[in-house]
Amino acid sequence: MNFSDKIIWITGASSGIGEALAIEWSTYKPTLILSGRNTEKLETVKTRCEQKGANCLVIPLDITIRESIDGAAEKIFSTFDRVDILVNNSGISQRSLAIETPIEVDRKIMETNFFGAVAITKKVLPSMSKNKFGHIVVISSIVGKFGFPVRTAYSASKHALQGFFESLRAEMVSDNIRVTIVSPGRIHTNISINSVDKDGNKYGVMDPGQAKGMPADVCAKKIIRAVRKYKKDILVGRSELLMAYIRKFLPVLYYKMSSKIKPV
């Protein structure tokens, strides 16, 4: 796929994998739409991307608010006639046991990680269908492949993404709309720091495994390579990815291992 003539909308573009994707994609000189809640950080990312040759537009967005999604889509389609690639990257993780977590926190995580991605996707699907072209990239998680302690709602939201977008892929084949589901493992970002605790507050701690994870720019390169090759489903990470294969091929061993993991 040639990215230079593409319009790419990235949510959660102010930091982490989203920021890394924006910067890496900039080398192909596409048009980038950068969305997220932190406008100041988005402007910083925009400057870096433009230095690399991309044409950038910052559209602030809170994916938990329907009016914000509607407004962002309206601004985009009043400026461009299409979105070629949508990257559903916005999300929030969790560090709390199910027994101590109020349902309101579970709903917050689902609203952010699942319903937000679905809502934005439904904003771009009509134009993609009309143009008979589009590519939707979904940043899920390795725990979208199996359950993991202190990630109950987070894991559920990522499982939901997997089910929705696999089904969508099958529905949109005739319209030439592709879907790439990305399941990262431990990537060195602030995802654990920005996770919510049992009270819905910021967790504020960098997980040791996260600190030693794959650099975000390396992850971004792998994702972009997968999009170029129209990959349907990829795992990105290091040795932690072994758990996904153990869960798939040796489930009994997985159950024993997961029950011995100490919640953090």
Tell me, yes or no, whether 258 lies in a domain.
no
**CA dist., res. 59 & res. 36, Å (int):** 7
Tell me, yes or no, whether 175 lies in a domain.
yes
Q: How confident is the model at residue 177, as a pLDDT?
A: 98
SS3 10: strand
Tell me, yes or no, whether 245 lies in a domain.
no
Q: In 3D, which of 102, 150, 187, 93 has the Cα closest to residue 264? A: 150
User: 106: Cβ–Cβ under 8 A, 6 or more apart, which residues?
Assistant: 152, 153, 156
Helix (H) or strand (E) holding 234: strand 233-236
Q: Which residues is 60 bridged to in the sheet?
A: 36
Tell me, yes or no, whether 192 lies in a domain.
yes
Are the C-beta atoms of residues 135 and 180 closer than 8 Å to each other?
yes
Tell me, yes or no, whether 235 lies in a domain.
yes
**CA dist., res. 223 & res. 150, Å (int):** 27
CATH number at residue 34: 3.40.50.720
pLDDT tens by residue, the chain, 264 residues: 899 999 999 999 999 999 999 999 999 999 999 999 999 999 999 999 999 999 999 999 999 999 999 999 999 999 999 999 999 999 999 999 999 999 999 999 999 999 999 999 999 999 999 999 999 999 999 999 999 999 999 999 999 999 999 999 999 999 999 999 999 999 999 999 999 999 999 999 999 989 999 999 999 999 999 999 999 999 999 999 999 999 999 999 999 998 887 765
pTM (predicted TM-score)? 0.96
Tell me, yes or no, whether 254 lies in a domain.
no
Total number of domains in the chain: 1
Tell me, yes or no, whether 128 lies in a domain.
yes
Count Cα atoms within 13 angstroms, Cβ side, for 32: 35
Token couple for 157: 């939201």
Tell me, yes or no, whether 126 lies in a domain.
yes
Active site (catalytic) residues: 154
Q: Please give the residue range of the domain that contains residue 120.
A: 7-239
